[in-house]
Amino acid sequence: MPVIPKSVVPSQKRPNLSAAFALLNRKRQEVFRPVLENPREFVLLNVRELAHKLKIDPATAIRITLKMGFGSYREFQHHLHELSVAQATSLDTMRTSTAKGSSLSAHVREAVDRDVRSLQKFRNTLDVDRIAALAKRIHAAKKILILGGDLATNLVGFLYYHLMLLGLPSISATSSGEAAHLSRGAAKDDLIIAISFRRGLRQTVEGLRQARANGAYCVGIADTLVSPIARFADECFIASVETPSFGASYTAPMCLVNGIVTACGYFHRQSTMDLLKKAADEQRHGFRWYQD
């Protein structure tokens, strides 16, 4: 498993694989195409095993990976791992369970244990200074646009609600129309937070690209460095959504978003406290809350 760097410029994370692959001659492209299209079938193979499966010699396999811009075969393997994460489907994640044939209780424990490991991995690579710097950018932004859709709508709503509670000028875009129209109007003084995992939802990726082209500062939240979210953002935070069940687990991403919310709340603590004093009365006695 590669160690995720705490801070990295998106364009330096990985070689531009599409461009590098296009530079290979047609024969080598056809040889390596199955590897990139089905990374899960090759990610655990050493260079000799991969060469045997592709019916080439190991030296040729290494030359091709170097030609694509990787410093070593091991680095290429790390890239395959991230590709397999990005391309995972609900069926793929269900197949990763090691509790096959066990009781339902064993499957529940396995899912919770995976969440704990994902959270620990996130904690081990956490750069709190980057989150603090993001909170400063959020407070300075003229407008904050939060992009996300599908299951990530839940994270968008959580972040949007808390920024709204702090009186920050945030807007959420969870449909393709909202993402297109709002990102088109993004400007230099705006900040964009785009949330999407695995291959990246088209509406979120396109909205991110449009906003960055307009000069807005773009922040991504994704689960792998090969995500288009990481590629097109000015900076990206990584949080795993791995699960031995179907779907995705948002344990680690929710922890990240909660860290961002916390930093924003404490950035101007007195202002936050003033707002919360006004909110406290409504939370105690407001019509929204059930009372006996």
Question: What is the residue extent of each domain of the chain?
Answer: 10-87, 124-284
Quick check: 267 and 135 in contact, CB under 8 A? yes
What's the pLDDT score for residue 283? Answer: 84
Report phi then psi at 222, rounded to 5.
-145, 180
Q: Is the dihedral of CA 154, 159, 162, 168 positive or negative?
A: negative
- Rounded to the nearest integer, the mean pLDDT of the chain is 90
CA distances from 105 to 91, 100, 111 (A): 20, 12, 10
Domain 10-87 class in CATH: mainly alpha
- Lookup result for tokens 């859709």: 149
Q: Is the dihedral of CA 223, 225, 231, 233 positive or negative?
A: positive
Bridge partners (DSSP) of residue 202 are none
- The burial of 217, by beta-carbon neighbours within 10 Å (0-12 exposed, 13-18 middle, 19 or more buried), is given as buried
At the topology level, CATH places domain 124-284 in Rossmann fold (3.40.50)
The C-alpha torsion from 25 through 30 and 31 to 35, rounded to 10°, is 120
- The distance of Cα 127 from the centroid of its chain, to the nearest Å, equals 15
CB atoms within 10 A of CB 46: 12
CA–CA gap between residue 11 and residue 201 (Å, rounded): 20
Confidence at 278, pLDDT banded by 50, 70, 90? confident
Helix (H, G, I), strand (E, B) or coil at 61: helix
Enter the tokens of residue 160: 């949007």
Give tens-digit pLDDT for 88-134: 888 888 888 888 667 999 999 999 999 999 999 999 999 999 999 99
What's the pLDDT score for residue 91? Answer: 87
Q: Look at residues 15, 117, 27, 25 and name the one whose alpha carbon lies nearest to residue 66.
A: 15
What's the pLDDT score for residue 95? Answer: 84
What's the pLDDT score for residue 22? Answer: 83
Give tens-digit pLDDT for 175-233: 999 999 999 999 999 999 999 999 999 999 999 999 999 999 999 999 999 999 999 99
Give tens-digit pLDDT for 26-79: 999 999 999 988 898 999 999 999 999 999 999 999 999 998 889 999 999 998
CA–CA gap between residue 44 and residue 22 (Å, rounded): 25
Q: Do domains 10-87 and 124-284 have the same CATH topology?
A: no
